[in-house]
């Protein structure tokens, strides 16, 4: 994929990993549209654009299927097509134990982290299959491969679901020329850390992965020849072991 001619949609593009990916692709010449629930954060990201094209913004909830279909169509029209979808929207909650987990919080995490990814694949896959090319990148988590108390039961379940969705979609669509990659970042310095029961301090955050690290990986995968696919990729902070 030639990044300078790439047309990309990134969910969760207003903050964190999604923002890092959007700014990196834009700086390399890609046409980028970002989606998120908070219009103010989307605008802040767009204002940081340093590329030749303005970053397009679309406020919306990935868990809303009808809204997703409308935004996907509008974004494709304004971009002139679609080559790359990055599902980076995600959330977590402070009270994560099964003993205290509320049904509403369970639904929230499953709807955003798992169903939101499905909604965007469902909305964009037909156009990628029709053109016989394209890349879908799902930003999962180590919690999508290793269930831990730190992530919490609902977050773990939603990320396992997202991971299975990506793997199965990739198997089904490879013959159509559509590649799918699940990326499993370890601890990353993003606003989702603020939702921890005890948010870490700045010294701790400085040792973690940064959004631009994940952005570099997405660019590298996108630039692989069509014959090469990366189904799964784990990336962790050097100072923290992968169990």
For residue range 92-129, list pLDDT tens digits in order. Answer: 999 999 999 999 999 999 999 999 999 999 999 999 99
Residue 92 lies in a domain: yes
Query: Which residues are part of the catalytic machinery?
Result: 155
Specify the pLDDT at position 11: 98
Q: Cα(106)–Cα(47) distance, rounded to whole angstroms?
A: 34
Specify the pLDDT at position 153: 97
Residue 242 lies in a domain: no
**Domain total for the chain?**
1
Chain-centroid distance, C-alpha 47: 20
Residue 241 lies in a domain: no
Specify the pLDDT at position 157: 98
Residue 140 lies in a domain: yes
Specify the pLDDT at position 239: 84
Overall average pLDDT of the 72-99 stretch: 97
H or E stretch covering 179: strand 178-185
Cα-based angle 197, 108, 242 (whole degrees, multiple of 5) = 55
Q: Cα(192)–Cα(188) distance, rounded to whole angstroms?
A: 9
Overall average pLDDT of the 11-20 stretch: 98
Confidence at 54, pLDDT banded by 50, 70, 90: very high
CATH number (domain holding residue 29): 3.40.50.720
Q: Is the pLDDT of residue 60 over 90?
A: yes
- In terms of residue numbers, what domain contains 113? 3-235
Residue 189 lies in a domain: yes
Residue 89 lies in a domain: yes
Specify the pLDDT at position 1: 87
Overall average pLDDT of the 163-167 stretch: 98
Specify the pLDDT at position 240: 81
Burial class (CB in 10 A: 0-12, 13-18, 19+), 202: exposed
Q: Tell me the DSSP string of 42-85.
A: HHHHHHT--SSSPPEEEE--TT-HHHHHHHHHHHHHHHTS-SEE
Residue 176 lies in a domain: yes
Residue 107 lies in a domain: yes
232: which strand partners?
Answer: 182
Q: Is the pLDDT of residue 191 over 90?
A: no
Q: What is the CA radius of gyration of the chain?
A: 17
């Amino acid at each position: 994929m030639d990044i300078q001619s790439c047309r990309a949609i990134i969910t969760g593009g207003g903050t964190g990993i999604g923002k890092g990916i959007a700014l990196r692709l834009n700086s390399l010449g890609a046409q980028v549209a970002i989606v998120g629930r908070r219009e103010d954060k989307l605008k802040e990201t767009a204002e940081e654009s340093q590329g030749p094209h303005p970053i397009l913004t679309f406020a919306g909830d990935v868990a809303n299927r009808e809204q997703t279909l409308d935004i996907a169509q509008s974004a494709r029209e304004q971009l002139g097509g679609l080559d790359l979808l990055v599902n980076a929207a995600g959330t977590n909650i402070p009270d994560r134990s099964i003993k205290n987990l509320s049904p509403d919080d369970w639904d929230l995490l499953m709807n955003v982290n798992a169903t939101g990814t499905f909604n965007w694949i469902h909305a964009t896959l037909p156009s990628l299959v029709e053109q016989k090319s394209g890349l879908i990148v799902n930003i999962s988590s180590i919690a999508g491969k290793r269930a831990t108390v730190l992530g919490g039961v609902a977050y773990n379940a939603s990320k396992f679901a997202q991971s299975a969705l990506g793997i199965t979609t990739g198997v089904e669509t490879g013959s159509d020329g559509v590649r799918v990659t699940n990326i499993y970042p370890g601890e990353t310095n993003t606003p989702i850390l603020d939702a921890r029961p005890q948010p870490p301090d700045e010294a701790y955050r400085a040792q973690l992965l940064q959004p631009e690290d994940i952005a570099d990986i997405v660019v590298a995968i996108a630039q692989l020849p069509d014959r090469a696919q990366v189904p799964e990729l784990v990336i962790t902070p050097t100072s923290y072991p992968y169990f």
